[in-house]
Amino acid sequence: MASTSSSSTTHFSAESYFATQLPPPTLAHDIDGVRAFVARQRAAGKKVVLVTSGGTTVPLELNVVRFLDNFSAGTRGATSAEYFLKAGYAVVFMHRQFSLQPFSRHYSHSTNPFLDLLEIETPAPSSSVASTSPTPDITVTSTQRADLLEILTSYKHAHTSGLLHTLTFVTVNDYLWLLRAVAQELAVLKHSVLYYLAAAVSDFFLPRQKMSEHKIQSGKGSLLIEMDQVPKILKPMVDEWSPDGFVVSFKLETDPTLLIPKARAALARYGHQIVIGNDLNRRKHEVVFVARAAQPPTVAPALPSSDLPSSEENGDVGLNTVSWLRIAPDAQDVRGRPREIEEDIVRELVGRHQAWIDRWGGDA
């Protein structure tokens, strides 16, 4: 059971958390879907990645009116899922409801509204049917057509091929229950499963036993809430839920000096394979891979030499290898579109994951 500390907060282990907090009502149904997906991918000999993406909320009331949230839009996860599909993986995309999704992310309502891509074309009136006005047609703006066709083709393929399976969560509680159950299903894939944990997971939560049933009232003036720490679930994930999986977690910091020490501490504590560190303000063009040194050597990165990190910052630090990955903030691809660092992250991970599979005798 949960042990009580000196303050009024409780220290939850993963075990005590799941023994005291309720599963989301859709869990059993969600897991049936994952089980069928996994069986198909296993029969086809596919490598599978679980991508988690977006922020988690922490409700403050049982009849929830207010909740704590975080900034994540789900860009990292949605973008990476596309590159994993391109690399031949089957993808379980577990994301925060309404956060960005693979393919549709290119037409987000706030950055590139879909309606702005469309034109209304009114055909010239026909002289033979004088009384009826011709029905206008809808076309895609010519400058957008090539990009839309490419994205639409990949989108349709992901769906018709059955290689993309989507799950949603909202609260940190939904996320924890779903992650455990999905990992337990994916475990049958042994070394050919990759976990790419990019969701921004709250560190704190309010156990349901401490939540007010109804909307918190304002009569008492200020609001003081003491939250408990979310249990560290990477440890049971590595030790129990999916012990053969290749686990990559992300570490977000705003103080850049903490990035590598915190990443190293996470690896030492949880025993997984890689922590990718990212600074909030530089995350779109710079990340650092911190890995356990015992890991098989990485494949040669297929990056343009201008994008390679300077070698003096990379190397072994104690038990870990540290390698920076950077792209120029204004880098563009051959078609003049902004380059995405996720392309390089995924390429690097695909190589490291394959080396992991080979090292264990290849079960993909």
Min dist. Cβ of residue 124 to ligand 9Z3 (A)? 47
What are residue 251's DSSP bridge partners? 277
201 is a site residue for ligand 9Z3 (CB under 6 A): yes
Min dist. Cβ of residue 179 to ligand 9Z3 (A)? 10
Angle at 192 between CA 44 and CA 174, to 5 degrees: 100
75 is a site residue for ligand 9Z3 (CB under 6 A): yes
198 is a site residue for ligand 9Z3 (CB under 6 A): yes
| Binding segment toward ligand 9Z3, per CB under 6 A, in 1-9, 72-80, 184-192, 344-352 | 72-80
73 is a site residue for ligand 9Z3 (CB under 6 A): yes
- Please say which residue, 210 or 232, places its beta carbon nearer to ligand 9Z3: 232
Kindly report the number of other CB atoms within 10 A of residue 101's CB atom: 21
| Binding segment toward ligand 9Z3, per CB under 6 A, in 21-29, 68-76, 121-129, 315-323 | 68-76
Residue from 278, 277, 287 nearest 345 by CA: 287
| Binding segment toward ligand 9Z3, per CB under 6 A, in 3-11, 197-205, 218-226, 294-302 | 197-205
Min dist. Cβ of residue 111 to ligand 9Z3 (A)? 12
263 is a site residue for ligand 9Z3 (CB under 6 A): no
Using CA atoms, how far apart are residues 342 and 331, in angstroms rounded to an integer?
13
DSSP characters over 196-219: EE-SB--SEE--GGGSBSSPPPST
- Which amino acid type is present at position 294? A
- Please say which residue, 59 or 74, places its beta carbon nearer to ligand 9Z3: 74
| Binding segment toward ligand 9Z3, per CB under 6 A, in 27-35, 70-78, 297-305, 325-333 | 70-78
Q: Where on the phi/psi map is residue 206: left (φ > 0), alpha (ψ -120 to 50), or beta?
A: beta
Among 42, 46, 47, 76, binds ligand 9Z3 (CB under 6 A): 76
Is residue 260 within 8 A of residue 290, CB to CB? The reply is yes
State residue 67 phi and psi, 5-degree precision.
Answer: -155, 160
Residue from 226, 218, 355, 235 nearest 300 by CA: 355
288 is a site residue for ligand 9Z3 (CB under 6 A): no
Interface residue list for ligand 9Z3 (CB under 6 A): 72-76, 197-198, 200-201, 249-252, 278, 283
